[in-house]
Amino acid sequence: MSEYTGYHGNSLEFLKANKISIGDSVKILADITYSGIVMPRYEHSDDKHIVLKLKSGYNIGLEIKNIENVEKKSSIEKKIETNEKIEKNDNLPNILLLSTGGTIASKIDYRTGAVTPVLTAEELNSSVPELGKIANIETKVLFSEYSENIMPEHWVKIAETVKEYSKSQYTGIIIAHGTDTMHYTSSYLSFALAGFPIPIALVGSQRSSDRASSDAALNLIGAVKFLTESKTNGIYIAMHQDENDETIACHIGTRVRKNHTSKRGAFQTIGNDPAFLIVNNKIQKNMKRDFFKVNEFAPKIKINQKVALVKYHPGYNPDSLRNLIDSGVKAIIFEGTGLGHIGENMYPVVKIANEKGIFMGMTSQCIDGMVRMTVYESGRDLLNLGIIPLENMIPEIALVKAMWVTGNTEKFDEIKENMLKEIALEFST
């Protein structure tokens, strides 16, 4: 990365004309005055804007043609000197931040030019200074993966780390995580760490911190507010509620889904309002139940990956199901249609799975609502073929639960019993 990475055409000319490089502290008069640090841009960016990271940690894109004046306050060298070790404040609660990667942890370091896929306490403090006023944040880098590359083995590593902090000085734990598969991870942790005494918030960002309008800082601030003030436990996802910056939503880790590819408010609690909202920095509670059905913390970390999710559709080839059976899966989660149906052409292969003692659970590709397999003849046929209706469990969460349940027992009756026993609000609405 150079001192102008991502800038080209008009924006590059503008930087050079004003003797500004990435990393410099500047004061820019446009409609109002903005003070901040010049950030690098993405490779496909336009040449009409420059991006500033404001003191709030929030990034803003300023259109060059509206800029009336630029004042360079300090150059990049000056910035480095001020980047000191943070003092711990004994009056503030302590939060542990575990970094796993993802957009939120993909800071482009404008000092070294390298993409640093980590969040250190120092970096956090300099980019989101509000955090230091509400909590002492200690950070630990677990690994650095975009979330599409997070595998069940990574879930286990997170759980192995977290379980060591069940008796600690921390008020809560943040897990910085890519958003793509965040709800898979949150549901695994909800099952594996049942009874964990302090709250855990998975936090990501939909826009990386070098882009205008990154949501990273506000999601982190909201998560810390939640962890220090909610007086609850459980595993949550804390992200923007919508496009506005007023509200951070905390979703129950087993009832949440990423429902938009790019919006800041991409995550939604299915069938209910989010458990907590942080509205203009004030916490609101909507949740009416305890997160865990158990009081004692008894971690069960193991997982079995020989579980398949089968999304039925017209034209689905039953041979695909047959191949899954032959591959030795221990459980199959159907994402059926409507109230929980699959076509009659699937029955012969379903019968084979049943005879082999493979657990089969039914969810709905409608995502919202209960499966009900007693309403229609086809549902009753499937019940007779051994398929177990999984109420309103979200298909992806049912898949994760099946991996976790079959990781901890191989007995069919215990698998069935545990799949239907609520652990962490996975059946709640």
Known catalytic residue at 180: yes
Q: Out of 180, 181, 330, 401, which one is annotated catalytic?
A: 180
User: Should residue 190 be labelled a site residue for its own copies when binding is judged by CB under 8 A?
Assistant: no
Give the whole-angstrom CA distance, residue 373 versus residue 19: 69
Rg, C-alpha atoms of the chain: 24
- Output DSSP code: residue 289: S
Alpha-carbon torsion 58, 61, 66, 70, what sign?
positive
Residues 256-285: x where in contact with its own copies by CB under 8 A, - otherwise, as a string: --xxxxxx--x-------------------
SS3 category, 104: helix
Pick the binder of its own copies from 56, 116, 337, 408 (CB under 8 A).
337
Q: Out of 53, 258, 330, 401, which one is annotated catalytic?
A: 258
Which residues make Cβ contacts (< 8 Å) with residue 225, sequence separation at least 6?
Answer: 134, 248, 278, 281, 283
Q: Give the binding range for its own copies (CB under 8 A) out of 19-27, 77-85, 165-173, 321-329.
A: 321-329
Start-to-end C-alpha separation, the chain: 48
Known catalytic residue at 78: no
Give the whole-angstrom CA distance, residue 292 versus residue 14: 56
Give the whole-angstrom CA distance, residue 343 versus residue 418: 27
* Structure tokens given for 335: 């994402």
Pick the binder of its own copies from 24, 130, 335, 426 (CB under 8 A).
335
User: Should residue 210 be labelled a site residue for its own copies when binding is judged by CB under 8 A?
Assistant: no
Q: Give the binding range for its own copies (CB under 8 A) out of 65-73, 243-251, 342-350, 351-359.
A: 342-350
Q: Give the binding range for its own copies (CB under 8 A) out of 17-25, 147-155, 235-243, 416-424.
A: 147-155
Pick the binder of its own copies from 175, 252, 278, 339 (CB under 8 A).
339
Q: CA of 270: how far to CAs of 229, 249, 374, 421, in Å?
A: 24, 13, 23, 19
Pick the binder of its own copies from 378, 406, 418, 428 (CB under 8 A).
378
User: Should residue 366 be labelled a site residue for its own copies when binding is judged by CB under 8 A?
Assistant: yes
For residue 108, the minimal CB distance to its own copies (Å) is: 13
In DSSP terms, which residues pair with 251 in a beta bridge? Answer: 237
Known catalytic residue at 421: no
| Angle (nearest 5°) at CA 132 between 128 and 134 | 110
Pick the binder of its own copies from 320, 355, 356, 384 (CB under 8 A).
320
Q: Out of 5, 100, 179, 181, which one is annotated catalytic?
A: 179
Sites for its own copies among residues 37-66 (CB under 8 A): 42, 44
Pick the binder of its own copies from 151, 284, 290, 348 (CB under 8 A).
151
Residues 280-319: x where in contact with its own copies by CB under 8 A, - otherwise, as a string: -------------------------x-xxx-xxxxx-x-x
Residue 140's nearest CA partner among 118, 125, 123 is 118
Cβ proximity of 237 and 201 under 8 Å: yes
Cβ proximity of 124 and 86 under 8 Å: no
Rounded to 5 degrees, φ, ψ at 187 are: -75, -40
Give the whole-angstrom CA distance, residue 254 versus residue 232: 16
Residue count at the site for its own copies (CB under 8 A)? 67
Known catalytic residue at 65: no
In DSSP terms, which residues pair with 335 in a beta bridge? Answer: 311, 363
Residues 384-403: x where in contact with its own copies by CB under 8 A, - otherwise, as a string: ------------x--x---x
Binding residues vs its own copies (CB under 8 A)? 42, 44, 146-152, 154-155, 178-181, 184-185, 258-263, 266, 305, 307-309, 311-315, 317, 319-320, 323-324, 327, 335-345, 364-372, 374-378, 396, 399, 403
User: Which residues are tagged catalytic?
Assistant: 103, 179-180, 258
